[in-house]
Homo-oligomer: A and B are copies of this chain.
C-alpha cells in the first residue's frame, strides 16, 4: 500500500463542489471513480481544501492509499485517462510517507479571486470571473483589507453552516492588485472558515463601491455577526491556488 500525494487542477463549473453528495456530480466522486478503475478497488481521497460548487483549483492537493504498485507517471497518466472528458487533471503524483495527510498537514492554503470591473458585459473567461459594473475604488478596498490581516474572530465572514470549532483564524495575506479592468485578490491562511474568502471579497466590494465607509466595514467586522456582513461573492471568481506543507527533512 502506497500513500500518494496528488496535485490537482480542475474547472469547478457544473460540479456540485469537491465533496461527495448523493444526487450530484462532485469532483471527489469523479476522481475516486477514475482512481477505482485504475486500482481495481475502491479508494478514498482526502483533500486540502474542500471547494464549493463552481470554484476552481489550480494546485489542489489530495492524498489516497493505493495497493496496486505503480510509478508516479502511471498514477498520473492512468487516472487522467479515466478522468476524460471531465475537466479534472492530476498534475503530479508523489509517493509520500504514510504519515502525510493532505488536510491536517497543510501549513498554508491560498486562494485567488478575480473580478472584472467595467460597465459593459463580459464575453471572455466568464466561468472564471465575477463581473461588477459599479466602479470599485481599489485603494479604499486595500485599506479595508489591511484590517483583516492577523489573528481575529472572523464570524462576520463565516457561513452559517460552517463546521469549524472556532471562528478564530489567522489571515496571513490579502493583497489586491488592479490591472486594467481586472482586480485580483490573493488570500492566504493556514485554514479558512466556510465561505470566508467569498464573504470577505463580497464585503470589500461594498467598500469599493462606496456603499460602505471604512467605518461601516470596521463595525461589521467587529460585530462578529454574519448578518452584519456583506454578500457572498459568487463562486466562479474563486480559484484554490496552492497549499504548502512542511519541507521533507
Contacts and interface: CB of A to CB of B under 8 A. Distances in A.
A123 B76 contact: no
A192 interface: no
Contacts of A173: none
A248 interface: no
6 contacts: A11-B124, A58-B124, A89-B122, A89-B123, A91-B120, A125-B128
Interface string A99-128: 000000000000000000011111111101
A188 interface: no
A177 B90 CA distance: 25
Interface of A: 9-11, 56, 58, 76-77, 80, 83-84, 87-92, 118-126, 128
Contacts of A126: 11, 87
Contacts of A92: 120
A45 to B, nearest CB: 16
Given A87-B126, A125-B128, A126-B87, A76 B120 contact: yes
A128 to B, nearest CB: 7
Contacts of A10: 123-124
A121 B58 CA distance: 13
B11 A121 contact: no
Contacts of A84: 121
A184 to B, nearest CB: 15
A80 B125 contact: no
Contacts of A83: 121
Given A77-B120, A87-B124, A89-B120, 19 more contacts: A9-B123, A9-B124, A10-B123, A10-B124, A11-B123, A11-B126, A56-B124, A58-B124, A80-B120, A83-B121, A84-B121, A88-B123, A89-B122, A89-B123, A91-B118, A91-B120, A92-B120, A124-B128, A125-B128
A87 B123 contact: yes
A11, A87, A120, A126: most-surrounded residue (chain B CB, <10 A): A120
Contacts of A125: 125, 128
Nearest to A88: B123
A75 to B, nearest CB: 11
